[in-house]
Amino acid sequence: MLAAPRGFCAGVDRAIQIVEQALTKFGAPVYVRHEIVHNRYVVESLKAKGAVFVKELDEIPDTSQPVIFSAHGVAKTIPEAAKNRNMFVVDATCPLVSKVHIEAARHFEQGREIVLVGHAGHPEVVGTLGQLPPGAITLIETADDARAFEPRDASKLAFITQTTLSLDDTAEIVGVLKERFPGIGGPVKEDICYATTNRQNAVKAIAEKIDGLIVVGGPKSSNSLRLVEVAERFGCRFSVLVERASDIPWEKLEGVTSVGITAGASAPELIVEEVVEAFRARYEVEIEVVTTLEERVVFNIPRDVRVTRTPAEQR
């Protein structure tokens, strides 16, 4: 069973297009701070086209070539440092992550203490924490953290969340916060992104019908790891994360007759096809696509790197 929707979300697709169009428009090298998205295949493909990935800006020589920030977002100090060096910056931050940054700033301006529900060390969380002065945002990772949290003033409190969390875990944590602090402010529309929500719901729809689930995604991809957890929570005997077909643990499939396949939001469909072909090489395979909804979200590419289409292409 192929879960749908799966794979690239609009934010990931936009980030990859930004790098590819920058390379087309300005030539190599194009510099990218951190992995543009959490997928090794995507990163290696872009490297082969001329993208240079760095951990920090000080690894980039003085250049007029584009410097791209990843889809996960960055702390405010990073664009400031780039501006001081007169870098040509292109921000590939997912618009849904930017929305969380704007919410955080709004709560701060209104004098609220902010709680961020997320995973410590994840680039998106690091970037969100870095939007405001130290101490303005408290990170909460679990329901126990939410129970132990003591605000400075419970009447001036708001929460935001990482966009790639488990829907169920987040609901539990937010439920604890709302029970303890009924007046806590929250997002007008939930912060967990549409793609994370849709991919988790698609897995829930097939979990009880399959013996196990293969999740195509990178080990650092938060939304992919959550898919593994959701499958096990909703009835799968086993659920595994694989980067490529060569990672499939065939020994776990002994006696299995039905398997689900999905992909995290930064995993290309090419690898899903590779996994399906690996099954065809070993088994007689019948494919059923289970679609819970159709996604039509598209985000615009920044003008600075947009490659103008020819009249023929526009037609």
User: Tokens for 259?
Assistant: 């398997």
Alpha-carbon gap, residue 38 to 119, rounded angstroms: 15
116: closest CA among 57, 157, 62, 76?
157
Contact 33, 90 (CB under 8 A): no
Instruction: Confirm whether 124 is a catalytic residue.
Output: yes
Contact 222, 162 (CB under 8 A): yes
Alpha-carbon gap, residue 66 to 60, rounded angstroms: 11
Alpha-carbon gap, residue 44 to 83, rounded angstroms: 28
| Three-class secondary structure of residue 159 per DSSP | strand
User: Tokens for 86?
Assistant: 């007169």
> DSSP character for 82?
H
Q: Which of 44, 124, 229, 288 is catalytic?
A: 124
| Three-class secondary structure of residue 120 per DSSP | coil
Give catalytic residues, as residue numbers: 124
